[in-house]
Amino acid sequence: MKLRIATPVVLATAVALTLSACGGGGGSGPSQPAGNSKSFEFWSFTGIDQKVSVEDYQKKNPGVQIKLTEVGSSVETAQALTTALAGGKVPDLVLIQGDDLPKFVQQSQNFHDLRPLGADKIKGDYLDWVMSQSTAKGGEIIGIPTDVGGMAVAYRTDLFKEAGLPTDREEVGKLWPTWDAFIETGKKYTAATGKAFVDNAATSVFYQAVNQGPQKYYDPSGNVVYSTSPQVKTAFDLAIKAAQAGITAKQSSFSEGWSAGMAKGQFAVIAAPSWMLGGIRRNAPDTEGKWDVATIPGGAGNWGGSYLAIPKGAANPKAAWDYITKTQSPQAQLEHFAKSGSLPTTPSVYKDPKLTGLKDPFFSDAPTGTIYTNSLLGLKPFFIGPDSSTIGQEFQNAITNVEQGKGDAAKAWDAAVANIKTAIGK
């Protein structure tokens, strides 16, 4: 899962493309006849290389045709799906990022209840708190989880060495038991090298810290508490502190500059939930062996996770369900983790030697299976509400404005809260 700001122009383009892609009825496209039970249309978001999973499935299931459309960012994909549901022209299968899921769960009538297809039989394979997020009040299950985003920090060992900092992952983790210590380490790095320590403050500080406590933007009963939550305010203040410390490269996550900066070594550290590892490989292929992975400040947390859902108007729901069951079984998720770094949502594999013994050569043979599962063990799951994605984006926008010199740090919190209230009406 990833988060990106969706500009109006990009969003309009994404919606137009996806609507034209599904013209002629759900699941029917120029290369895929409607009603063909061995073919289906699949919408995903970009940046997670869903094409690999699709190609692997097709190799194992000859004759199946999958029309994959990578709509745009996770936010853009959710917006396009909302438009498609209103127009009645939908894909057979869609990937929905965790923060965007609640608003669709509230409209569960727009999706197939997966229980009659077999979800009741397999729901016990997944983490309870993850499955609960895709379960409606009436018990309908509208999504099967594909991954969770156990958190860690990826860092460049060569750049740390140049700065006179330790490079061993255990010693690096000891540099930052807290986020304040992380920022102080950044100051030391920047003072020694004259270069940026971390990519940005919004995602690599705020979005990590805010995902580490038991309560985020909503309380356990579903009441909005973003403006009064100590956890949210603390995370926001830490990010503003990092933005003002002069340790960031001011490169917004998933932007072209961010991707290029990663490859060129313009920053030494990046927040790396498990699914981010694949992105680092793709964006900086020539840096293999120069990265390592250390424990995140605070030790535990979760950023991300996605779900596969089948819209009610899907032309080929059985074909879509077959894809879900075969690609999201415990063993399939384990295989996917070994290839891409997406952490399984199936706890039965957490002690499997294929996971616990996995070492990633790209990241200096870091024991990624152990690092990421440990980051989930101390997690107290928080409630995700229908406007979590919007709320989080506005907080990040305010932090980025300060980082870019466009916003007043003293007024940033109040500005973010005011923008959120305008956006969600509360």
**Stretch 315-339: mean pLDDT:** 94
Query: Which of 259-263, 272-276, 378-382 is predicted with the least confidence, judged by mean pLDDT?
Result: 378-382
The pLDDT of residue 118: 97
Based on the domain organization, do 110 and 28 belong to the same domain? yes
- 59-98 residue pLDDT tens: 999 999 999 999 998 889 999 999 999 997 899 999 999 9
Domain count, the chain: 2
- Give the integer Cα–Cα distance in Å for 343 and 336: 8
pTM of the model: 0.85
Instruction: Give the Cβ contact number of residue 354 at 10 Å.
Output: 13
**What percentage of the chain carries pLDDT values higher than 70?**
91
- 10-22 residue pLDDT tens: 333 333 333 333 3
Based on the domain organization, do 136 and 61 belong to the same domain? yes
Query: Does the structure show a pLDDT above 50 at 357?
Result: yes
Based on the domain organization, do 388 and 258 belong to the same domain? yes
The pLDDT of residue 354: 92
**Stretch 219-248: mean pLDDT:** 96
Maximum Cα interatomic distance, the chain, rounded to a whole number of Å = 63
Query: Does the structure show a pLDDT above 80 at 244?
Result: yes
Domain that holds residue 386: 153-303+360-424
Helix-, strand-, coil-residue percentages of the chain, each rounded to 5:
50, 15, 40
Query: Which of 28-37, 215-224, 322-331 is predicted with the least confidence, judged by mean pLDDT?
Result: 28-37
- 133-182 residue pLDDT tens: 999 999 999 999 999 989 999 999 999 999 999 999 999 999 999 999 99
* 388, part of any domain: yes
* 139, part of any domain: yes
Query: Does the structure show a pLDDT above 50 at 34?
Result: no
- Give the integer Cα–Cα distance in Å for 128 and 198: 34
Rounded to 5 degrees, what are φ and ψ at 188? Answer: -65, -40
**Stretch 330-357: mean pLDDT:** 91
Question: Domain boundary at 349, 377, 405, which?
Answer: 349
Instruction: Give the Cβ contact number of residue 246 at 10 Å.
Output: 12
Question: Which tokens is 98 given?
Answer: 């965790």
Based on the domain organization, do 193 and 166 belong to the same domain? yes
Judge contact between 261 and 249, C-beta under 8 A: yes
Amino acid identity for residue 346 in this structure: T
Query: Which residue's structure tokens are 């034209």?
Result: 20
* 32, part of any domain: yes
Higher pLDDT, 323 or 28: 323
Based on the domain organization, do 259 and 408 belong to the same domain? yes
DSSP 198: E
Rounded to 5 degrees, what are φ and ψ at 298? Answer: 90, -20
| Three-state DSSP class for residue 300 | coil
* 96, part of any domain: yes
Question: Domain boundary at 288, 318, 349, which?
Answer: 349
Question: Domain boundary at 349, 373, 406, which?
Answer: 349
DSSP 206: I
Query: Does the structure show a pLDDT above 50 at 406?
Result: yes
The pLDDT of residue 378: 66
| Three-state DSSP class for residue 44 | strand
**Residue 218: C-alpha distances to residues 205, 226, 229, 424, 426 (Å):** 20, 7, 9, 13, 12
Amino acid identity for residue 309 in this structure: A
Question: Which tokens is 45 given?
Answer: 């978001």
Judge contact between 73 and 255, C-beta under 8 A: no
Cβ-based burial of 19 (10 A; exposed 0-12, middle 13-18, buried ≥19): middle
DSSP 320: H
Q: What is the CATH number of the domain that holds 42?
A: 3.40.190.10
* 355, part of any domain: no
